[in-house]
């Protein structure tokens, strides 16, 4: 009989405990961020991997896919080990602490806002995955695989995690009131800056610029671009961290900015070359998405249209400047598209968030000029730190095992020389 009552009590407690332990968790918000987390990972695997893979020569397609898959795995582990703690623990101005190593303080009962903290950590982990993955586009077709792993690992801990803390983790820029809804500064400015530095330090491809081959598969690039577009709804809409009006508007302006920028890029190419390209319209889409990202949760539809127009045009000009006029082999235009787009959106949000453009408004007592100063100051500090740290990390990678493959390996292609595999086999 006592055993019966013990079992009855256990059943009773099992029924009521979820109500008490998880009372702060909202099921709708949780369901949406679960979906958004999957969407953001989908952006990297397979979205960004396919987008970049189609842009390189066929002899390097496997290496690009390998870079993305390995980086996704490695960044996930490092995020759990130390990245999350450095970004979101402690109250330091410049970096978090190590109190949450291995996410040891995150339990099934832990809550962040209205969602489980485990989910918040996982959602942020997908951002930590895609940011160093974006940089891959700057050094494809000539870098050693070991250098990719060393650089990405150190960069995540030294650059990405601290900047995340500055902006989203309660650090110095959060205190200033910086506006970066989904990563114009944290993701795109850091990745773009690092890409430019990497392109310069690693050096040009042997074929650049005289005999660079066109993308071997615009089909793969377009498939990857479509995946990025869909996944970006999780990227921007998920950054609301709730299923509500803010997420809905962020999703809408994200889409319209991408569509407008795609058309702008297409029209420029059409007028300049007499015909539009699939690669061009897809690149314009990415430019629009990168530009709207920091502003997506603060603006209305007019702001989304303006950012699409600005991002499509200015990023196109930036590509021509970096590649054509400066002769920097940022192979897949990471700086011109992501860096320039992210910075542009991070500045314009100070204007477009106002009531005049149907935005959500600035913080009480803050003027456009004041907010613009905060944005510019935050961008400048981020860019300087990213550039200096990225340069040092690349030099460390060079000492540790070298950055570039030799000339014969580059000519043969990284698929065979680095991985012993081919992407395609002739019949």
Contact yes or no for 280/287 (Cβ under 8 A):
no
β-pairing, 111-112 vs 115-116, is antiparallel
pLDDT surpasses 60 at 9: no
Average pLDDT over residues 283-296: 98
pLDDT surpasses 50 at 19: no
CA distance 208 to 56: 13
pLDDT of residue 426: 76
Q: Of 209 and 119, which is predicted with more confidence?
A: 119
Domains and CATH numbers, the chain: 33-100+110-419 (1.10.3430.10)
Determine if the peptide bond prior to 46 is cis (ω within 30°). yes
Average pLDDT over residues 276-294: 98
Average pLDDT over residues 358-373: 97
pLDDT of residue 2: 52
Average pLDDT over residues 21-25: 67
pLDDT of residue 212: 87
CA distance 337 to 318: 8
Average pLDDT over residues 139-165: 98
Backbone conformation region of residue 365, classed left if phi is above 0, alpha if psi is from -120 to 50, else beta: left
Q: pLDDT category, 23, cuts 50, 70, 90?
A: low
Per the DSSP assignment, residues forming a β-bridge with 317 are none
pLDDT averaged over the chain?
95
Average pLDDT over residues 126-133: 98
pLDDT surpasses 70 at 297: yes
pLDDT surpasses 80 at 253: yes
pLDDT of residue 1: 46
pLDDT tens column, 347-358: 999 999 999 999
Average pLDDT over residues 347-370: 97
Average pLDDT over residues 97-112: 96
CA distance 200 to 119: 38
Average pLDDT over residues 206-235: 96
Distance from chain centroid for Cα 374 = 22
Q: Of 53 and 4, which is predicted with more confidence?
A: 53
pLDDT of residue 13: 46
Contacts of 5 (CB under 8 A, 6+ apart): none
Q: Of 410 and 7, which is predicted with more confidence?
A: 410
Q: Of 18 and 76, which is predicted with more confidence?
A: 76
Q: In 3D, which of 188, 197, 121, 118 has the Cα closest to residue 160?
A: 188
CA distance 76 to 198: 22
Task: Note the maximum CA span of the chain.
Answer: 88
Q: Of 156 and 5, which is predicted with more confidence?
A: 156
CA distance 114 to 244: 12
């Amino acid at each position: 009989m006592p055993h019966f009552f013990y079992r009855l009590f256990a059943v009773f407690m099992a029924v009521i405990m979820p109500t008490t332990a998880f009372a702060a968790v909202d099921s709708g918000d949780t369901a949406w961020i679960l979906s958004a987390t999957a969407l953001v990972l989908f952006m990297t695997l397979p979205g960004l991997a396919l987008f970049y893979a189609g842009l390189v020569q066929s002899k390097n397609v496997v290496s690009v896919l390998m870079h993305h898959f390995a980086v996704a795995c490695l960044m996930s582990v490092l995020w759990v080990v130390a990245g999350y703690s450095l970004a979101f623990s402690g109250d330091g101005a410049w970096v978090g602490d190590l109190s949450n190593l291995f996410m040891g303080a995150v339990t099934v009962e832990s809550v962040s806002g209205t969602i489980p903290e485990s989910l918040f950590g996982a959602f942020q982990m997908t951002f930590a995955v895609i940011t160093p993955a974006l940089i891959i586009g700057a050094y494809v077709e000539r870098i050693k695989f070991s250098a990719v792993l060393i650089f990405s690992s150190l960069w995540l801990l030294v650059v990405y995690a601290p900047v995340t803390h500055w902006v989203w983790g309660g650090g110095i820029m959060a205190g200033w009131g910086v506006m970066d809804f989904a990563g114009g500064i944290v993701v795109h400015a850091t990745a773009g800056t690092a890409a430019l530095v990497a392109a310069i330090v690693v050096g040009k491809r042997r074929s650049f610029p005289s005999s660079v081959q066109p993308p071997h598969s615009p089909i793969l690039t377009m498939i990857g671009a479509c995946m990025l577009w869909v996944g970006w709804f999780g990227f921007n809409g998920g950054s609301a961290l709730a299923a509500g009006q803010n997420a809905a508007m962020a999703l809408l302006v994200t889409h319209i900015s991408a569509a407008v920028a795609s058309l702008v890029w297409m029209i420029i190419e059409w007028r300049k070359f007499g015909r539009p390209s699939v690669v061009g319209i897809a690149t314009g889409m990415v430019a629009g998405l990168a530009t709207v990202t920091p502003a997506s949760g603060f603006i209305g539809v007019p702001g989304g249209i303006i950012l699409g127009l600005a991002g499509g045009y200015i990023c196109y000009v930036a590509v021509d400047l970096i590649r054509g006029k400066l002769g920097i082999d940022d192979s897949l235009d990471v700086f011109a598209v992501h860096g320039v787009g992210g910075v542009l959106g991070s500045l314009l949000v100070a204007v477009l968030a106002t009531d005049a453009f149907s935005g959500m408004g600035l913080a009480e007592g803050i003027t456009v000029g004041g907010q613009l100063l905060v944005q510019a100051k935050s961008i400048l500090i981020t860019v300087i730190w990213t550039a200096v740290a990225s340069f040092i990390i690349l030099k460390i990678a060079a000492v540790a095992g070298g950055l570039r493959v030799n000339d014969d390996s580059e000519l043969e292609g990284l698929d065979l020389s680095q991985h012993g595999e081919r992407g395609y086999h002739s019949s």
